[in-house]
Structure formats: structure tokens, C-alpha cells
Amino acid sequence: MSKNKRSRNANLHLYRNPLPIEFINTSKSDFNYTLINNIKEGISPLFFCSLLFRSAKEYFKLFFHKAPSPVIIDLTFEEIFENKYLIIASKDFSQRDLLWYGGYFGTGNLSRSQPTWFLRKKRDLDENQKRRFPEDLTAQRRLKKQIIKEQQVEYEKTFKKFVSNEQEIDQKEIVKRYESLKALKKDRSSIVFASTSKADEDVEELQDQEEYVLTLEEYLYLKLFVARNSMYLKYVKNRLMLKPDMPLNKLIHEDSLKKTLVRFVVYSALRNKGYIVREGVKFGADYLVYDKKGPVFQHSDYSIVIRDFTGEDKDIMSAEDILSRLRIIGTANKKMITMDVECNLDEVQWEKIKEQWKTLQDNKSLDNLFLSLLSKFSIDQLLIERWIPERSR
């Protein structure tokens, strides 16, 4: 294998591109303390005094420094549909963009991925900005191509009549039409849209009609991992706080607790390994996995299908189901990975947990119980590919 190909394959590895979440950097005082502990021989009094002075300076700075106020995300909670949807986040642009661009959490209900409906609608009304965007340039090129095609047909008809002398046509007119057609073919993007007089008024009166949707797994990950474990979203330098602090047993019914845990244990495992995880229902899967920059820059390479082995009725997929999923996922140029989830708790233990879940009222106790249950699950993953005779001979 060539060096360039090895390098290219290494860059495609799932662990090479971490999620845009970063940990707190170690302070200088901690670094100096580590240096002192690692020194086996004696140190000079001057070096010791300098380290002591810098450590004291850091201590007083932290003691008198006012803690930065946390970034607060205000959420309005709606009905949970089929134990997966929906939590509707605030329409506030800064909060919405923070969650999306900071870690690809949530989606717009009027957009394919990120919440861009308002910007696209405003752009459509603002004639001065239309040609700055790729999709508008594509529309212009298609319109230009159609105009060229129509003028080509007219030119050929006129030229045919001129050659056959069916109609008296001036040669200068033929040359003029030819030069016009040649100029159109040379520049396929010079289409100017006619502006309307109400465009500016419409832009000013336009209101954002798009809601911002978080899935249940995304909300749980933000609440239990990002905010709880002092991890920061990209571009955020202080703590994240979700309000209101909804008790988990108000969002998750005790009868749906196991099903929620099965989905979340897979979601959190993928996120913690550095994957970017999105919903995959339209591709016949549970999740889509992005291993590079995210859904804005690339298509997903993997589709995740969860198989639940936690109960007596094990989720064993039939051959027809596997083949149909492989066909759909393969058509979208993705690979299928099954995640088999097992649990070491029996039904009697689950009944006790469900009763405890229903009676707890303290938010912190509910969060701790939910996190402790994650350790009771195990995951086995399997890559499934469709056998193609033409490629396997």
C-alpha cells in the first residue's frame, strides 16, 4: 500500500476526529505542582521561591475571582412522542446556534439539518444576496441552460430556412444570433432576477417560523454529560445550564425507562468515542454516525441499528429485515453496524428500580440513578455487509 493511501485511510478512522467538545485546560499552578512532585533531586532556593510565589498568585487570583455566570439554555418541554421525541428548545438564535454549532445538537423542524430556515427565507426575499450562495448559483445555471437550449433551437430553425431559401433572411441577422448564442454559452451564470418593490418590506416583516428540536437522547447527554462533567461545548468558556431543570421521571415514564436506557447507552457510547450522532430513521436505522467534521460538511458513513437483548423477547432480526435494511442503507452509500445491547438485571430487579424511579422526587438523585443504570448494560457491535457476487469472485 502506498504512503498516500495509508495516510488517507488513517484520516478516515473514526477516532481521528473528535466531537467538538473540549475539557478544562490544566492551570499553570497545577503544572508547577506536578513539576515539584517529579523532581527527585534537590532544587535551588530561588527556584522553589519562584514556584511558591506563582502558586500563591494563582491561589489568590482564584479566591478573589468572580465565577463566570453559566450559559443558560431555556427550554420549553412538549409531549414526548414514542419515547424518542420531542423536546422543543427555545427559538433564541444565540442558544440555538450554541447547541448546533457547538456540538451538532438538535435540528430545525423546517430544515434538513441545522436551523437555517429563517436565513434561507430572508435570502430568497433579499435580491441583492441571492447570487452569493451555491444553491442560488445552481438555480441560475439551470435557468441559463434552459434559455440556451431554447435559443439554440430557434437559431437552428432560422439557419435552416436561410440555407434552404425558404424565407428571405438577412445574413447579418444570422451572424447576430450566432454571436448572442455564443456569448450565452460562454457565461452560464449571468442571470439577473427581477427584483420586486416589496422585497425590503417583506424582509423587515419576516419572522422566524422554525422551532428547534432536541431528541430525548440529546437532552439527556447535554444534561448528564456536557453540563454535569464540566465539559464545554465548542466556543463556550463557562458552564452550561439547562433550564428548567426537569425531573427525569417527568420526561421518562417508568415503563419506558429500560427502552430509553437501551437507546441512550448506545448514543452516549458513540458520542463519548468522538462520533457525531444524528437521527437515522429515514434510512431505516436508529442513528447516523459522522466521523469527520459533521453533517454540515459531509454525508454520514455509518448507520447504526440497535438490537435489544435486555428482555425475554430478544430483538433477533429476520433475514428479510436485514436484507431490506442493507438495501436501503447501501443505496445511500453507508455501512450498517448493529449494536446488540444486553443487561445483567433480571425482571425482579427492574420492578424495584421502576418503583424507585416513580417515587423519587429529587432531581440529583434521579440523575445519579439514571447514570448508575448505564453501567448495567453492555454493547456488542457488528458490521454487516451485503454479499455481492460480482465483487467477491
Return d(Cα 323, Cα 146) in angstroms, integer: 42
Measuring CA to CA, how many Å separate 301 from each of 17, 218, 310?
14, 20, 28
Peptide bond into 86 cis (omega under 30): yes
**What residues contact residue 64 under an 8 Å CB cut-off, 6+ apart?**
none
- Between CA 20 and CA 27, with CA 24 as vertex, the angle to 5 degrees is 145
DSSP calls for 2-59 = -HHHHHHHHHTSGGGS--SEEPPPPPHHHHHHHHHHH--S---HHHHHHHHHHHHHHH
Active site residues: 290, 299, 334
Contact between 98 and 236 under an 8 Å Cβ cutoff? The reply is yes
**What residues contact residue 269 under an 8 Å CB cut-off, 6+ apart?**
379
- For the chain, the 3-state helix, strand and coil shares in percent, each to the nearest 5, are 50, 15, 35
- The H helix count followed by the E strand count for the chain is 15, 12
Q: What are the backbone dihedrals phi and psi of residue 55, each rounded to the nearest 5 degrees, phi first?
A: -65, -40
- Element (H or E) spanning 303, and its range? strand 302-308
Contact between 294 and 104 under an 8 Å Cβ cutoff? The reply is yes
Sheet with 85-89, edge to edge strand ranges:
107-108, 212-214, 85-89, 71-81, 240-243
